[in-house]
Amino acid sequence: MSRGTKRTVPGVPKRKGLMKIFKIFEEHSFELEVILDSIKDSIALVDKNGITKYWNTAAEKMYDINREDIIGRHIKDFFPTALLPRIIKEEQSFENIYNSPRENSFTIISAFPLYSQGKLVGGISLDRDITEHIRNLELLSKNKRNIDALQKQIKSIGLNRSSFSMILGNNKKFKNVVNLSRDVSRSNINVLICGESGTGKELFARAIHMESGKEGFFVPINCSAIPNELIESELFGYAPGAFTGALKEGRTGKVELSNKGTLFLDEIGDMPLHMQPKLLRVLEDGVITRIGSEKSTKVRIRVVAATNRDLSEMVEKGSFRKDLYYRLNSVLINIPPLRERKEDIPLLTNRFVEDYCMEYGFNILTISHGVMDAFINHDWEGNVRELANVVERMVVIANNNNANNIDTSFLPENIAQNAKRQDAKNEGGHAIYDLNKMLENVEKEAVQNAMKLADYNKAKVAKILNIPRSTLYFKLKKYGLE
């Protein structure tokens, strides 16, 4: 075996390297066994039918199963919830998935389909034993630090990446909004984000701040959640002994805390009218004065404001200052509601399912076509936030019922009733006027044409349709085009 091949084996494998391993396995079985048996992670190879073809020494120790007993047997005979049959069926890779293949056994698993000359021939999985780590975390549960510590670690990893990578959507209008937000991030221009509740206004604001590279903090303040008499002290702070009940050492306001960073004013439409000229002065002069103090402080901030109200209409009615409005909306970003980008619902749903399964330590669940159809036909007045909450609820309930698939029986009553009304409407002869059905027919035809054009190469098909491969798999299943 060449030196280059040896260097690719010990790490998390790339698909090309896996193909080489599988292809030359029989020709160089002895050399491969020496190398693979030296790896501390459990390695399993199966063919396209799920029959175990290789089982390394680490796997024998980890699961107490001899290779003579498992090789030639279906992987599900030993692991009913094994991930390998699923990755072969869906031709989809999974990396670093939390898994519990057996009781009191915990692993991090990565699994990949294997190809030879463009054809699926099997799959490979690598399991890293983290059972001892989990047991240690359980000991720390008395101090309420076990799960919290894992969540903080996961969140800290996310902070090292641009938040724009966490904003999902293939809708053309939505992608234009993301591109505009990214374009203005590096400037100091004030931004006004408009959108219905739950569309992700704060997520966009945080992404803009992180992309900006500013050294200061992202400081959020919800203008609707603070009583009118306290909002000035929240924004500008106060000097020691400024009023009865004030802290002896005084308090730093949110504007000062955001110096050299970003001040996020959520629900700016609810800011009291008497506070608006004071905020305008800070935006124009960059100077603040704490309540009860005569000393002014120079600040350099970037303001990102958000609202679900029509500020231009409020300006006409006199409930919002015109000069502040034009100062804030140097760049106006309108986030479309979820009902206007329904093609993103499968993408968001699948991501939320994976995220919540990871968060709660569940095996990855699948979503039935009936549930996805119900989601697509729902209006989602609460937008992405409502979708995330519904998915979390269904993931938890499905897991508690030992279900591997989230079907329509787990739908909230309001969504289930809407789906039934939609079915009844279609059965009543109105289906020919159903715009969603028309769009589905057009979408199905587009996928079929792309499959023919790309000679059924799914990677090329996804590229032609400009959608992630996971979304393509869902659509192929939905329309029976697998």
pLDDT at 218 over 70: yes
pLDDT at 10: 37
Question: Tens digit of pLDDT for each residue in 396-448?
Answer: 999 999 888 899 889 998 888 877 776 655 555 454 455 566 677 778 888 88
What is the mean predicted confidence (pLDDT) over 124-136? Answer: 79
Q: How far is CA 308 from the centre of its chain?
A: 23
CA nearest neighbour of 59 among 51, 69, 49, 50 = 69
pLDDT at 237 over 80: yes
In angstroms, the CA 258 to CA 298 distance is: 12
In angstroms, the CA 11 to CA 63 distance is: 21
Choice between 258 and 11, residue whose per-residue pLDDT is larger: 258
What is the mean predicted confidence (pLDDT) over 93-102? Answer: 78
Q: What is the 3-state secondary structure (H, E, C) of 191-232?
A: EEEECCCCCCHHHHHHHHHHHHCCCCCEEEEECCCCCCCCHH
At residue 82 the predicted structure's pLDDT band, cuts being 50, 70 and 90, is confident
In angstroms, the CA 472 to CA 467 distance is: 7
Choice between 83 and 162, residue whose per-residue pLDDT is larger: 83
Percent of the chain with pLDDT over 90: 36
Phi/psi of residue 243, each to 5°?
-160, 170
At residue 6 the predicted structure's pLDDT band, cuts being 50, 70 and 90, is very low
Question: Tens digit of pLDDT for each residue in 332-357?
Answer: 999 999 999 999 999 999 999 988 98
In angstroms, the CA 48 to CA 51 distance is: 7
pLDDT at 31: 63
Most trustworthy range by pLDDT among 84-98, 189-203, 217-231: 189-203
Mean pLDDT, the chain, whole residue set: 82
pLDDT at 7: 35
At residue 102 the predicted structure's pLDDT band, cuts being 50, 70 and 90, is low
Q: How far is CA 400 from the centre of its chain?
A: 23
pLDDT at 430: 52
pLDDT at 422: 66
What is the mean predicted confidence (pLDDT) over 95-105? Answer: 74
pLDDT at 469: 82
In angstroms, the CA 98 to CA 434 distance is: 41
pLDDT at 63 over 80: yes
Percent of the chain with pLDDT over 70: 82
pLDDT at 49: 92
At residue 62 the predicted structure's pLDDT band, cuts being 50, 70 and 90, is confident
pLDDT at 424: 58
pLDDT at 318: 92
At residue 24 the predicted structure's pLDDT band, cuts being 50, 70 and 90, is low
Domains plus CATH for the chain?
A: 3-129 (3.30.450.20), 163-336 (3.40.50.300), 340-478 (1.10.8.60)
Q: Could you give the count of Cα atoms lying within 13 Å of 282 in the half-sphere of its Cβ?
A: 26
Cα dihedral sign for 467, 468, 474, 477? Answer: positive
pLDDT at 418: 77
Question: Tens digit of pLDDT for each residue in 138-188?
Answer: 666 655 554 554 455 444 444 444 478 888 888 999 999 999 999 999 899
pLDDT at 209: 93
Cα dihedral sign for 411, 413, 418, 420? Answer: positive
pLDDT at 377 over 80: yes
pLDDT at 66 over 50: yes
pLDDT at 280: 92
What is the mean predicted confidence (pLDDT) over 35-44? Answer: 82
In angstroms, the CA 182 to CA 225 distance is: 29
Question: Tens digit of pLDDT for each residue in 260-303?
Answer: 999 999 999 999 999 999 999 999 988 988 888 888 889 999 99
pLDDT at 16: 46
pLDDT at 52: 93
Tell me the CA end-to-end span of the chain in Å, nearest whole number: 37
